[in-house]
Chains A and B, each alone.
Chain A
Amino acid sequence: MKNRLRVLRAEKNWTQAELAGMVGISRQAVIAVENGKYDPALPLAFRLARAFGKNIEEVFVWEDNAPAEK
């Protein structure tokens, strides 16, 4: 699963810590999601998308051939 978290965060000029605080997760979690090392569960994915005022499909993109997790 790919995501546009880094790009969206840069557009908003937010730091990883600020995004983490808004969503109620650790900065480590934001780093792992941004680097594609960790795919969040649905509730967290929705919270992240809502933080940017986007739908989940605008932030997370499912790839059919992608491995489950790196």
Chain B
Amino acid sequence: MKTPDLASRRRPFTFWAVLVVASAIDIAATRLLGRPGFPPYARMIFALLPIPANLVLLAIIVRRVRGLDEFLRRVHLEAAATAFLLTALAVFIDADLEKAHCVGPLNVGVAWILMAAFYGIGYAIAVRHYR
């Protein structure tokens, strides 16, 4: 029987560690951009600051997806499709509600939280479907 090697056991830790670092950089960059007094070149650096960590996160996610078996790939594909479509629907509805002056401008951060929540819902539905 195959036993997971040390590298594959470390992968979940690596993912969460990079996610925390990337999120911290995102938040720090947003806060720095909210402060006045920085010259334009510094503001541009702050805006681009989250890119490297997020690219590392992307590479980790792609590697993990490639390491999944065909069944789990299907489950995650269904979860991703659910998250993508429901988030798009939510954003479009929010835009229409904004035009109708029912809600204020959309905070992009909320869209990401929604996408994560919809991904979880899509994953749960797919797992339940194939159980």
Q: Which of A's residues lie within 8 Å of B, judged by CB?
A: 18, 21-22, 24-26, 28-29, 31-33, 35, 37-38, 40-41, 44
Contacts and interface: CB of A to CB of B under 8 A. Distances in A.
Interface residues of B, number: 14
15 contacts: A22-B1, A26-B71, A28-B72, A29-B71, A29-B72, A32-B130, A32-B131, A37-B129, A37-B130, A37-B131, A38-B71, A38-B74, A40-B70, A41-B70, A44-B70
A31 B131 contact: yes
Contacts of B131: 31-32, 35, 37
Contacts of B5: none
A28 B1 contact: no
Contact of B1 (A18, A29, A32): A18
Nearest to B1: A21
B2 A28 contact: no
A21 B68 CA distance: 13
A28 B70 contact: no
